[in-house]
Structure 1
Amino acid sequence: MATLAVSSHLPVHGITIDFTRSRTNIESAEVRIGRSSSQIQRDAGKSFQQKFSPPMVLSHRDSFSLHIQYKKCFVTKIKNINLKTGDMFRMYSENEEQEYVELHKKIRIIVALSEAELRSTSSDIFQKCPRFRILVIGKSGVGKSSLISYAFGVEKNIISENQPGAADIEKELKSPQNKRFVLHDSKGFEAGDRYNLEIVRDFIVRRKGMSPEHQLHAIWFCFEIPRAGGPFLENGAEEFLEWKRSGILGDVPVIIVFTKYDMLIDRMERTLAQTTLDGSDDEVIKKHARDEAKAELQNICVGPLQALPGPDIPYAAVSAEEDFRGTLSDLVEKTKHCIDQHSAPDSEAAVMSSVAQRVHPGLNIDASIKVGKKRYWKSLASCALFKNHQMVHCLDVLHTDIVDVWNFYDPQSHLHGTNFKGMMRKMVNDTTAERTRANPIQNIGSWLSVVGAIAGIVAAVAAAGPAAPIAAPIAAGAVLAVYVGQVYQTCRAAIQSSMAYIAHLTLVLQTLYLLSESQALTLRAIELAFKAYDASPMKEEVFTWIQDYVTSLTALDVADEDIMEKVIEVIQFYKIDAAQVSKLREQIPHVDLSAPDGS
């Protein structure tokens, strides 16, 4: 198939300036591409070398030059060397050579236009910031253990709340169930206890200047909702919030967490059932109880908090009880929003706040989009980063980035295994043929079709016996699509396959999220999620959407930004929020997801 267009962008992975044969003694060098610039570090001998990660991107419109400073007759001089970008683009498009070399008066300039391997963007992020680090402050019995357990999908005994005074704020509390999360615990502030108050302050202040790996990313300050008339804040808590408002604690977000919200609503229900609404329908009482609880929370907690001087401190009312899990989603979303306000939205901390949590699938999708935008999703049209790499390797790096961001508890690494990758490649290959047009229906309707497919598969498996396999349509060892052995090119087939792989994988993982509920993944669970999505109309809707878009492209239409935004549009359309998660899970029948093979 003919290519759609010659590459419109080039990745510049590195640059070397070799002046061993020149009498010019270069003292400093800088590379300039368009409006971007970067210093080049001195290497051994008479050379400068610099690698760029992520690579700098060069377009036809950009100027590309070196700005060098050198001495001649004891006088410092400056020279601009303009590189021949036209020759660079031609060489890149026509030859297998991945280095561009240009000589300028015995100064040899080498531009690296590829790297030896495609590195996953997620691994770069995890190297700088491997875990989301949070401090939780609260008295024993306030509900910290349940809160942390459900919000981050870890064991409940990660905090020993039954041992008053045992909290050691310096201790890193980690869990094998979530390797992207680390917790620091502190007991609450008793009246007159300045010792613990100062320990917490010093801990927070000391962490401010540390590397992203060791910085504190958020603080949850937990209070059990009191009964009317009961005290809300002790003196120590008020002083802590004053430090936050005055800037002493720095930019780390502090969120006030009002715990055991379900108990407040229960009190309201009992009161209403005994008074004005006696004899009313249960649903009517529940609705009124929630309205009353909201007003009571405002009166006894939010009002006093907002009355304190200084900027408002964000807050959330939560419960870890099953019917209130949506409140945990609100809390983690608010936490992420606060982190975004204090750092770049695509910073390592912002991404990790979404990766570590286990209650809001929409945040995982948002983080996946941010990671995709950083590098590889930008190259689906121009193949600027995929040039001369086999399709299988391109799909692998896309696969790794997406799977990593979902952060499932996958102790056997099934999602990174050849079996699951083969299933996904076969799905994309099977949907590259012309299909009957499928009309996308509304988000929740599409997901109900997936849930219906789950129910049908579960019923069939149950009828066949307790040890019956799910039988996903692939054998272990993986069926490889024809295109997998090809080199990535800017053609409709490659663009369509890449877009479909990103969308299908994301939606299979969202299906798996509905099933797994933070449990250890088994091949049985993965195969059920895959087969349910594969059998649902949603898969055909997604492919038709992508196919129609790619078919409409002409040589003049192809642009990285447009391709990337179309992928994002498809994924966002099918993204489910916390409220939808609860509704959909209610309709999923019980299924034994343990693996008969022990996996």
Structure 2
Amino acid sequence: MWKKLDRFLTRSHNTGDGSSTEPDFVGHRLRCLLPCTEPVQHSPAVDVRSKCQHFRILVIGRANAGKTTLLKKVCMSVEDPEIFDPDGKKIDPNVVEGSTDRGLHDIENQLIFRSNRQFIFHDSRGFESGSMEETNKVKDFIAQRAAASTLEKQLHAIWYCLPAGDTNRPLLKADEDFFDTDIRGKVPVIAILTKFDGLATRAFQELRDNGNSRSDSQQGKEQRAEELLTTDFIEPLKSRKVPPSDYLRLADMHKDTTDCNELMEKTAEALTDDTLRLLFVSVQQNNVDLSMKYAVRR
């Protein structure tokens, strides 16, 4: 078992140009917990990183869905990501910010955090505009990545962010269209219902408007928010032709005390390819228990 775990934990941090590496901090922490009972024998044949150096995720969602906050939490970063074009050339973030308002945001651009360069994110924006043009761009991007000849270039997972606090328009036409179209193949889609704390605030106000006391409303807001989450988001998503692979809600992601462990767990569970699952678990740095779970399972 220890040999398998060490093989799983052995990984290098690619700097983006392939010029340097550094030890994995999760792997180091785990090794400190392991007994040194037998020598480690590395096997290139089972080395996940010989097949793929990065885990590639498409992040879909409205501008107010808290995507940037989520990605910073995932990569344990306080800095914004660096932006690279499809050829790996770094892009001035000011140029990208300026182009976003003009509708020139490029889904092909790669977002990489210096704190964890093994994740590559692609950001799709503009679904809230109601235009099918952005939806079609996403469909084309997914199709092109599915046709890529190497695992490195393919899309590995989709995180679909919906702001749960926005109950005035839970699902847009573009959202419904996406989950009615079978375009993603085996790529898992995790529906991330962000800003649940905002939904709880709405639930509190609803209870107060219905004549409940402040104390009773405070006590019952979580349960009512869960009910709203189910009726306004989860049930409508489940009714689509191609529903998400899994669902989760997130709250207070701007606070230091919150984490994204559940997102890591659900993404790992949704991956059907063992190689990709091991790659994902080794890349993520948030959940040590998850690393142990899949290393031992192997």
Distance between the aligned counterparts of 1:311 and 1:336, measured in 2? 18
Go from structure 1 to structure 2 and tell me whether the alpha carbon gap of 1:266 and 1:358 turns closer, same or farther (over 3 Å shift): farther
Which amino acid letter does the alignment assign opposite residue 287 of structure 2?
Answer: H
For the 8 Å contact 2:189–2:245, the answer to whether it is kept is yes
* Distance change (3 Å), C-alpha of 1:130 and 1:271: same
Question: SS where residue 222 of structure 1 aligns?
Answer: strand
Partners in 2 of 1:270 and 1:156 — Cα distance? 35
Q: Are the aligned partners of 2:44 and 2:50 in contact in 1 as well (CA < 8 Å)?
A: no
| Alignment CA distance shift 1:336-1:322 (3 Å) | same
Map of 1:254 onto structure 2 = 189
CA RMSD of aligned residues (A): 3.0
Matched with 1:133 is 56
Name the aligned partner's letter for residue 216 of structure 1: L
1:189 alignment partner AA: F
1:462-501 → structure 2 map (5 Å cutoff): none
When the two structures are superposed, what TM-score results if normalisation uses the length of structure 1? Answer: 0.37
Shift of 1:213: 1.5
Are the aligned partners of 1:191 and 1:234 in contact in 2 as well (CA < 8 Å)? no
- Percent identity over the alignment is 29
Is the contact made by 1:155 and 1:175 (CA closer than 8 Å) also made in structure 2? Answer: no
User: What residue in structure 1 maps to residue 249 of structure 2?
Assistant: 317
- Is 1:276 paired with 2:276? no
Q: Aligned to 2:159, what secondary structure does the other structure show?
A: strand
**Distance apart, 1:352 and its partner CA:** 2.0
Q: Does 1:291 align with 2:223?
A: yes
| Residues in 2 aligned to 1:356 and 1:149: alpha-carbon distance in whole angstroms | 15
User: Which residue does 1:177 correspond to in 2?
Assistant: 115
Is 2:75–2:113's contact at 8 Å kept on the other side of the alignment? no
Does residue 349 (structure 1) correspond to residue 284 (structure 2)? The answer is no
Alignment partner, residue 519 of structure 1: none
Distance in 2 separating the partners of 1:354 and 1:365: 9
2:44 paired with 1:148: no
- The aligned residue for residue 267 of structure 2 is 335
Counterparts of 1:29-40 in structure 2, within 5 Å, are none
TM-score by length of 2: 0.70
- In the alignment, is residue 306 of structure 1 matched against residue 238 of structure 2? yes
Mapping of 1:147-166 within 5 angstroms?
147-158=70-81, 163-164=100-101, 165=103
Change beyond 3 A, Cα 1:232–1:270: closer
Pairing 1:28-67 to 2, within 5 Å after superposition: none
Distance in 1 (CA, whole Å) between partners of 2:126 and 2:67 is 11
Q: Distance in 2 between matches of 1:227 and 1:318?
A: 14
Equivalent in the alignment of 1:213: 152
Aligned counterpart in structure 1 of residue 177 of structure 2, from 239, 252, 256: 239
Deviation at 1:321, TM superposition (A): 3.6
Residues 493-512 of structure 1: pairs in structure 2 closer than 5 A: none
Distance 1:169 1:286 in 2: 42
Distance in 2, Cα, partners of 1:361 & 1:269: 36
The 5 Å alignment of 1:79-94 reads none
Classify the secondary structure of the residue corresponding to 2:42. coil
Amino acid at match of 1:221: Y
Q: How far off its partner does 1:295 sit?
A: 0.7
- TM-aligned CA distance change 1:260 to 1:279, over 3 Å: closer
* 8 Å CA contact retained: 2:60, 2:158: yes
Distance in 1 separating the partners of 2:257 and 2:249: 10
Q: Deviations over 1:363-388 (max 9, x none)?
A: 12124335xx4xxxxxxxxxxxxxxx
Q: Secondary structure at the match of 1:216?
A: coil
Q: Decide whether the 8 Å contact of 1:180 with 1:352 is kept in 2.
A: no
Specify the alignment match of 2:291 in structure 1: 364
Q: Is the 8 A contact 2:165 2:197 kept in 1?
A: no
Gaps of 5+ in 2: 1-39, 84-92
CA–CA separation in structure 1 for the residues paired with 2:139 and 2:242: 19
Query: Does the aligned pair in 1 maintain the 2:135–2:178 contact within 8 Å?
Result: yes
Find the aligned partners of 2:291 and 2:115 in 1 and give their Cα distance.
17
* Structure 2 SS opposite 1:169: coil
How far is the alpha carbon of 1:294 from its aligned partner?
0.4
Number of the residue aligned with 2:161: 222
Which runs of 5 or more residues in structure 1 are unaligned?
1-116, 374-599
**Paired amino acid for 2:64:** G
